[in-house]
Amino acid sequence: MADYKYLKDEDISSKTVVVRLDLNSNVEDGELFVGARIESYVETLKELTGKGAKIVGLAHQGRRGQDDFVSLKQHAEEISERIEKEVKLIGWDADFVSEIKAMQQGEVILMENVRFHENEEQSFSPEEASKIDWVQKIASVSDLFVQDAFSVCHRAQPSVIGLSVLLPSFVGPVLEKELSALEKVDSREKPSVFVLGGAKISDSISLIQSLFENDKADTICVGGLLGELFLKAKGVQLGAKDKFFEEKGLNQFVEQAKQILSQHGEKIIVPVDIAIMNDYDEREEILVSELPKDNQINDIGMETVSEFKDVLKKAKLIVMNGPMGVFEKMEFEIGTKKVFDAISKSRGFSMVGGGDTEAALRETDFSPEDFSHVSLAGKTPLLYLLGKELPGLTVLQSKGASGTPEKESEELAKENPVPVPSESVEPAKEEPVQDSSESEDSAKAEPVQEEAEEEPESESSES
Digit-coded pLDDT (tens) for 153-174: 999 999 999 999 999 999 999 9
Q: How far apart are CA 258 and CA 12, in angstroms?
A: 54
Assigned CATH class of 180-385: alpha beta
Instruction: Write down the mean pLDDT value for the chain.
Output: 86
Confirm whether 7-178+389-414 and 180-385 share one CATH topology.
Answer: yes
**How much is the pLDDT for 410?**
42
How far is CA 325 from each of CA 31, 88, 223, rounded to the nearest angstrom? Answer: 27, 41, 7
pLDDT digits (tens, 9 = 90+) for 16-34: 999 999 999 989 888 999 8
Cα separation, 134 vs 97, in Å, equals 10
Return d(Cα 64, Cα 69) in angstroms, integer: 6
Q: Is the pTM of this model over 0.85?
A: no
Cβ neighbours of residue 141 under 8 Å, at least 6 residues apart? Answer: 16, 97, 100, 101
- Which residue type sits at 133? D
Rank 142-146, 214-218, 383-387, 449-453 by mean pLDDT and report only the highest.
142-146
The more confidently predicted of residues 320 and 412 is 320
Average pLDDT over residues 357-375: 89
HSE on the CB side for 38, CA within 13 Å?
24
Does 7-178+389-414 carry CATH code 3.40.50.1260?
A: yes
Q: HSE (CB half, 13 Å, CA atoms) of 219?
A: 20
Angle between helices 254-264 and 201-213 (to 10 degrees): 20
Q: In the chain, how many H helices and how many E strands? A: 18, 17
Distance of CA 256 to the CA centre of its chain: 26
Query: Cβ distance 154 to 392 under 8 Å?
Result: yes
- In this structure, the strands spanning 219-222 and 192-196 are parallel
CA separation for the pair 159, 322 (Å, rounded): 28
Q: What does each C-alpha distance from 235 to 230, 255, 318 come to in angstroms?
A: 9, 11, 29
Cβ atoms of residues 114 and 18 within 8 Å: no
Reduce the DSSP state of residue 37 to 3 states and report it: helix
User: How does pLDDT run across 170-201, given as a tens digit for each residue?
Assistant: 999 999 999 999 998 887 789 999 999 987 79
Whether the predicted pLDDT of 421 surpasses 50: no
Give the Cα-Cα-Cα angle 379, 423, 91 (nearest 5 degrees). 85
C-alpha span between 423 and 428 (Å, rounded): 15
Strands in 197-272 per DSSP E: 219-222, 268-269
Query: What digits encode the pLDDT tens for the residues 95-116?
Result: 999 999 999 999 999 999 999 9
Higher pLDDT, 120 or 408: 120
- Give the model's pLDDT for residue 243: 94
Q: Are 130 and 370 in contact (CB under 8 A)?
A: no
Sheet with 268-269, edge to edge strand ranges: 268-269, 219-222, 192-196, 317-321, 349-353, 373-375
- pLDDT band at 398; cut points 50, 70, 90: low
Sequence ranges of the domains in the chain: 7-178+389-414, 180-385
The three-point CA angle 26-27-31 to 5° equals 135
Strands 297-300 and 273-277: antiparallel
List phi, psi (to 5°) of 353: 155, 175
Share of the chain above pLDDT 70, in %: 85
The neighbour count for residue 381, using CB atoms within 10 Å, is: 26
DSSP state, residue 226: H
Q: Are 197 and 226 in contact (CB under 8 A)?
A: yes
